[in-house]
Structure 1
Amino acid sequence: MIYSNQNTAAHHLHEIITRVRATNGTIAEAWASALDTEWGTHEFARRHSEVVTLLQMTIRQLGALPERSRARCERHVSAWWTAVMQPVVNWTDINRSPLGIIDDDKLDHLESAAELISGNLTGSDAAPRGGDLSEMTARCEEWIALLQSMGEDEIDGPVRAQLISQLRHLIWLVDHAGIFGGARVAEEASTVIGSLARTGATLVHMQEGSQTGWRKALLALVAACVVFNTAAPILQESITAGVGFAREIANVVQDTQGNE
């Protein structure tokens, strides 16, 4: 699936809130419909928490805008937060329409903020350029298989479990990119790469085969992410994590971008 330049967290937050407002029924029913899941379930909580993350990303990315644009957008943040959280409203009240969670003007300002983020930050994690996410899923599945194949003498069980959990969540985000968007995938991918790189730098008892597999798998995941997104955040995560083969990562990035 190919994603357009309208791929920021703010764009997808705007789309989700717009769907909620356009749905008949209670606020709870409207959110369940917009997130394509059942109200009150674990899956609903998981998906709505990702909406909160989209809001958090939007607020953070406003700080990267030019001062006047940032100040203009930040005046409306509390209205966007209220639309997502509805803290003083009974979500199941049949007398409250989803249309009332935010007014048109505040919602329009969210869309304007999305365009400003996209225009100023295209190619970063905030506004990935798009691409085929299937390769990222395949690389994550290979990582899970590698981690599961390693013995307890090579990697501690809790460390393995945490990495696998992160990888599975990244796969889940790819599967639901139509709802939460590419920016959320890009941010999580950079975080996962950083976690894998940091862990690889600290494991001292890996077998030779595991060391080779770890290196190849990390470079393959970097390549898959570069196809989807810019290289800068990935390189930053990896170098900060203390990867000893940053030059190899840079070469993979250069080769991948050269083939685009």
Structure 2
Amino acid sequence: MQSSGKQTYADGWALALGAEWGSMEFAKRHAEVVNLMVATIEQLNALPERARERTLRYINAWWNSIVQPQVNWGDTGRPAHGIIKQDMLDHLEAAADIIAGSLVGSTAAPRGVNFDAIADQCREWLDLLQSMEESEISGPVRDGLISQIEHLIWLVENVDLFGGARVASEASRIIGTLAQASATMENANPETVSRWKKGWLALIAVCVAFNGGVAVVQESIDSGTAIVKEITGVVNDLQGGE
């Protein structure tokens, strides 16, 4: 935005986000920038003490540059290049380098680039969820999962804008949500249950591979199998050992 030449904050953000100011898509994309800010705070808090203390002091300046709570975004007297000073951008880039070096292989700094594999798994999940009856899974639970998975596909499609860390983080959240939802599927037919478990393992595999590298696909599948067994045991205990 600093070099955009735009005469207002609103126009600068619209150009940076590739969405029309005031549109729903603009709101969605700017909300993702806020999500990135939240994730950055969490990641900085995970750093060693010296790096953590050195970087957290800039949080307020970065947040102000995103939200600008005390100014009119349409004010022509506030050109886009004034949103944030270059030194604050330099500190933000340095913080990103520290996160990438310290948290490599985690959702904060994934090593993979195969976004298509994640999107393919998402589309398979959408096919499964949309085919399930109300008797197999609660409608609100199903619709919530569909919304989350569609959002993950959207993040993959916009990875150049929001980065791979948001993809990895959202994929991990969906894995947990799917695990919780599986505990409610008391009346699902065996074929659906089988597809659900296979799909869950496949999603775990592709996400772990995305974070840690292709070589860990089989290990992630084996780990996922163990997790499924543990979850199944817990669910059975909750249901009285059935």
TM class by shorter chain equals 0.7 to 0.9
Measured against aligned partners, the alpha-carbon deviations of 1:58-88 in whole angstroms (never above 9, x if no partner) come to: 0111111111111111111100001101111
Measured against aligned partners, the alpha-carbon deviations of 1:75-129 in whole angstroms (never above 9, x if no partner) come to: 1110000110111111111111111111111111111111111110000011000
Distance in 2 separating the partners of 1:142 and 1:40: 34
| Larger CA deviation: 180-189 vs 103-112 | 103-112
Equivalent residue number for residue 48 of structure 2? 66
Equivalent residue number for residue 2 of structure 2? 21
Between structure 1 and structure 2, the one with the greater Rg is: 2
RMSD in angstroms over aligned alpha carbons? 2.2
**Partner amino acid, structure 2, of 1:91:** W
| Larger CA deviation: 111-120 vs 221-230 | 221-230
- Deviation of 1:226 (Å): 2.3
1:97 matches 2:79: yes
Distance in 1 separating the partners of 2:163 and 2:93: 15
- Deviation of 1:202 (Å): 2.7
Equivalent residue number for residue 116 of structure 1? 98
Aligned residue for 2:232, secondary structure, equals: coil
Distance in 2 separating the partners of 1:23 and 1:87: 21
Structure 1 contact 124–233 (Cα < 8 Å) conserved? no
Q: Which runs of 5+ in 2 are unaligned?
A: 234-242
Task: List aligned pairs for 1:1-260, cutoff 5 A.
Answer: 20-25=1-6, 26-230=8-212, 239=227, 243-244=231-232
Q: Which runs of 5+ in 1 are unaligned?
A: 1-19, 246-260
- Deviation of 1:228 (Å): 1.2
Distance in 1 separating the partners of 2:220 and 2:27: 29
- Deviation of 1:201 (Å): 2.4
Distance in 2 separating the partners of 1:88 and 1:172: 31
Distance in 2 separating the partners of 1:41 and 1:228: 33
Structure 2 contact 137–184 (Cα < 8 Å) conserved? no
Distance in 1 separating the partners of 2:99 and 2:174: 23
Aligned residue for 1:22, secondary structure, equals: coil
Structure 1 contact 132–227 (Cα < 8 Å) conserved? no
What is the count of residue pairs matched by the alignment? 225
- Runs of at least 4 residues off by over 4 Å: 231-236
* TM-score, with structure 2 as normaliser: 0.87
* TM-score, with structure 1 as normaliser: 0.82
Aligned-residue identity in percent: 51
Aligned residue for 1:47, secondary structure, equals: helix
| Structure ranking higher on relative contact order (CA contacts 8 Å, 6+ apart) | 1
Distance in 1 separating the partners of 2:126 and 2:231: 20
Equivalent residue number for residue 256 of structure 1? none
| Larger CA deviation: 104-113 vs 161-170 | 104-113
